[in-house]
A and B are shown apart, each in its own frame.
Chain A
Amino acid sequence: MSAPTKLPRWAELALLPLLNLGFALLLSGVIVRLLGESPWAALKLMVAGSVGTQEGIGYTLYYATNFIFTGLAVAVAYHAGLFNIGAEGQAYVGGLGVGLVALWLGDAPRFVVLPLAILAGAGFGAAWAFLPAWLQAKRGSHIVITTIMFNFIASALMTYLLVNVLIKPGQQSPETREFGAHAFMPAAHDLLARAGLTFAATPLNFAFVLALAAAVLVWIFVWHTRWGYALRVAGENAAAAVYAGIAPPRSIMGSMLLSGALAGSLGLNELLGSQHRILIDFTGGAGFVGIAVSLMGRNHPVGIIFSSVLFGALYQGGSQLSFDMPKINRDMVVVIQGLVILFCGAMENVFRAPLTAVFARFGRSKTGL
């Protein structure tokens, strides 16, 4: 009835998220201040640590790769009207697929093992998303709750496998043996060296390119194919979907399987690119960062890439910070992450109304409406 004046598109897509982000960072600054450190100095340290050196940039993009995968996973489900909190579990199990291929075929040629690992990661991730998706589609079980449960089940399963089955014989810590060298994702500095460029040795690897490719594919799929169209219709209005001959259960299944596949690809970066073995909790909460990244990036691949890099910088800068400021450790990054989710995801209406009022006031005089 009382249709509120809409924000201009650029304000909705850029200004509002930036405003929310700004407030989250401001509050983080307040916390840093409370800890007895200077927020300004902390910011400078973080920026220098994350983008000031080749090494920093490498690490930043390496972290960002994980977040692009999980952020895309959350976004694809979101467009189908589903909140996938299970990216963490799907990434974990997807990593199992990646790791198994790498363990078994680590000595096979690269062009065999890498494509197979990609398929296995996507397949295992999708498989872990299958049951929650199916239960939502067929039995109406709330996917938020089931995916939370599946995160815990994934954690128990992986712990069991690593402790009892996959553990490297004669070793205490629950992790597998190292993969064969052919299963390593080519490192960025090696690839650049081949092109005659020198770059600091960092865990940044070819998976970053794969993540960008995934973002492009998601963008094409969601906005430029009839399947993506159907998925968005089902996500926005299930009744309209049925009317249009689109079966919502199929949309749920399709989007969740794709979502799981994207999350499951995290292992390509984390395991093949950096750890070179499967280990406990290698996902490190990236599935949850994916929620923040997707929310902040307005569930759009371009936004997700930007916010992933930002979060990558936050992670990298945060670990720098913990070296230089004894009172701050990497947990501070988690705090910032939580605040970003809070402000970008749950509190966005708080600033929407005042911002809309500002636009209504100044926009009117300009356009004469």
Chain B
Amino acid sequence: MADIRNNFVGIKSPNPFWLASAPPTDKAYNVIRAFKAGWGGVVWKTLGEEGPPVVNVNGPRYGAIWGADRRLLGLNNIELITDRDLQVNLREIKQVKKDWPDRAIVVSLMVPCVEESWKAILPVVEETEADGIELNFGCPHGMSERGMGAAVGQVPEYIEMVVRWCKANTRMPVITKLTPNITDVRKPARAALAGGTDAVSLINTINSITGVDLDSFAPQPTIDGKGSHGGYCGPAVKPIAMNMVAEIARDPETHGLPISGIGGITTWRDAAEFMALGAGNVQVCTAAMTYGFKIVQEMIAGLENWMDEKGHASLDDIVGRATPNVTDWQYLNLNYVAKARIDQDACIKCGRCHIACEDTSHQAITSMVDGKRHFEVIEAECVGCNLCVNVCPVENCITMEPLAAGAMDQRTGKPVSPIYANWTTHPNNPMAKVAAE
């Protein structure tokens, strides 16, 4: 049986599935329900400084996009950090940690960008015996207008400064949560590392408008006729988040920096993919908000089952396994040649591959052969782009088949070279590095 116990920067949890800082972790009631359901840990919803609590809007806080049958694909929110009294939160954190010592409790924090504010909050959090803190440098709405959240996360120098204050004023591990609303995620990650962070977590939510009411011409979610950008999350953001995780994992400057992966994780498979790209554990929110806490049972069982099937004994066997395979385009092998192949027994003759290729790509799939409706790849035209595979409604009906070295590529009229060769040495590249004579 695979061992999925997690040790993330010294914080131990029975599995790598944490609930992200968000509404599901705003109070003891929810967190206890989550622990009963089996979640390995939580990041308690962001606490602010002592004083009058934050206020939220009293209209819709969420917007969404859906697939057919209203499957939720993307969720957006304009909720702020916790609007509960600081002392109530601290009391509850302390009690829950005491009652659930085997689970991880990390406390998310966001206070003004002055050292005194951080010096004030850190000891009172430490006193709860929480396992660590997460710095919320990602919240993209409301708080950022007040110089916090993403407003800090978008300035690497601020990140480094605040992380340094925290490391200087607490013994707790510091996880720095990054915003995706930047150009190059490596810069804030490097800054966090320079400040001495123990780990980064990403991604926070993405600036978004989920829809426009075409009667009132108001963006959604709509508050009294107006809307404000919210933070986008859910299954739709997963590919964006995975790329950012991989960018940090493979950056020579931050390689080895622990990462807690966040962004659209809904199933055990999503979690395994994030971990393969370099995440030491994962945080989940939208999936729980859509289906409830019970989904963690599928995640735990699914991850264990896959690890058993593949012979992975512990999480260390899978974390980062895909990272070395993420590279720059210029290093991809240009001598690798694949062609689409349509399994005629599986083909249901919908013709989507044909029309996609014919209208928008390479005219490499027939629609009619000998007067009969028949879809077949014309190898001499096929560039192996994979579009037909992606639009085919039948799984495994169209596959990309690599040509063996020496086989004739009918499109180029040349045999496939057995030698790895990339753009850096390609003759068409004016910057090509010429091999030494």
Are A and B co-members of a single complex? no
B interface residues with partner A (beta carbon < 8 Å):
none
